[in-house]
């Protein structure tokens, strides 16, 4: 039986296959969803990734984090708890020589509690659905997101923005609803070309 793989869709590592390990709750973000997300980011960041710090909190296969690394972000911190997934992430990072990627083995909430304040320009959340993760994560995000930082969320249903966040974009692919939000919304209009 052929192993399931997804591929990086853009940047320096474009077309690199990412193996999908067998793990409960693991759902790699589909190619077209990642392509849409990075089109959104390109718009809001004006195509400038070089100084961006990103947290991929439920890394899984690493598809989201490696996609960001492929676009040349300064740093991607991946967090994953499943040992098989962690081994696969480390193997892929080594194969790509992706020095802008760090992989942390541990629980998402414990890691959030230890991170430096206002560290990240973007946090990506793709937790296992229907396990209450988002409600547990939301209160910790203001401590680690920079002002006007972005939050990307995948969920099984459309989401209302948590307090202090403004919905910028949302879409759906199959059973996955995905959202891009901005932290500490100052009610800027979408006409502002980029976020500093």
Task: Return the CATH number at 113.
Answer: 3.40.50.150
- Which tokens belong to 43? 């718009």
Q: What is the pLDDT of residue 3?
A: 57
DSSP state of 21: -
Residue 12 resides in a domain: yes
Residue 192 resides in a domain: no
Separation CA 158–CA 162 (nearest Å): 12
Residue 189 resides in a domain: no
| Sequential DSSP letters for 136-190 | HHGGGHHHHEEEEEEEEEEESS--PPPTTEEEEEEEEETTEEEEEEEES-----T
The sheet with strand 101-105 has its strands ordered as 101-105, 75-80, 53-56, 120-125, 145-155, 176-183, 165-173
Separation CA 76–CA 93 (nearest Å): 11
Q: For residues 65 and 54, is the Cβ–Cβ distance under 8 A?
A: yes
Residue 195 resides in a domain: no
Q: From first to last of its 196 residues, what are the pLDDT tens digits of the chain?
A: 345 789 999 999 999 999 888 777 677 888 899 999 999 999 999 999 999 999 999 999 999 999 999 999 999 999 999 999 999 999 999 999 999 999 999 999 999 999 888 889 999 999 988 888 999 999 999 999 999 999 999 999 999 999 999 999 999 998 899 999 999 744 444 444 333 2
| Sequential DSSP letters for 57-119 | TT-TT-HHHHHHHHTT-SEEEEEE--HHHHHHHHHHHHHHT-TTEEEEES-HHHHHHHSPTT-
Residue 196 resides in a domain: no
Q: What is the pLDDT of residue 43?
A: 96
Separation CA 35–CA 12 (nearest Å): 14
Counting the structural domains of the chain, the total is 1
Residue 190 resides in a domain: no
Q: For residues 37 and 49, is the Cβ–Cβ distance under 8 A?
A: no
| Residue 42 burial (CB count, 10 A) | 14
Residue 188 resides in a domain: no
Full residue range of the structural domain in which residue 137 is found: 5-183
Residue 96 resides in a domain: yes
């Amino acid at each position: 039986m052929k192993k399931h793989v997804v591929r990086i869709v853009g940047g320096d590592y474009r077309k690199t296959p990412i193996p999908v390990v067998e793990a409960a709750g693991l759902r790699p973000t589909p190619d077209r969803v990642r392509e849409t997300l990075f089109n959104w980011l390109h718009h809001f960041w004006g195509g400038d990734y070089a100084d961006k710090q990103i947290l991929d909190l439920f890394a899984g296969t690493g598809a989201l984090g490696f996609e960001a690394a492929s676009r040349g972000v300064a740093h991607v911190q991946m967090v994953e708890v499943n040992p098989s997934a962690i081994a696969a992430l480390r193997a892929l990072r080594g194969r790509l020589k992706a020095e802008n990627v760090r992989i942390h083995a541990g629980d998402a909430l414990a890691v959030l509690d230890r991170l430096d304040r206002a560290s990240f320009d973007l946090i990506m959340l793709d937790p296992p659905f229907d396990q209450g993760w988002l409600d547990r994560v939301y209160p910790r995000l203001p401590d680690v997101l920079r002002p006007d930082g972005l939050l990307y969320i995948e969920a099984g249903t459309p989401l209302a923005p948590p307090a202090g966040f403004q919905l910028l974009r949302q879409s759906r692919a199959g059973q996955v609803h995905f959202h891009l939000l901005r932290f500490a919304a100052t009610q800027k209009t979408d006409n502002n070309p980029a976020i500093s």
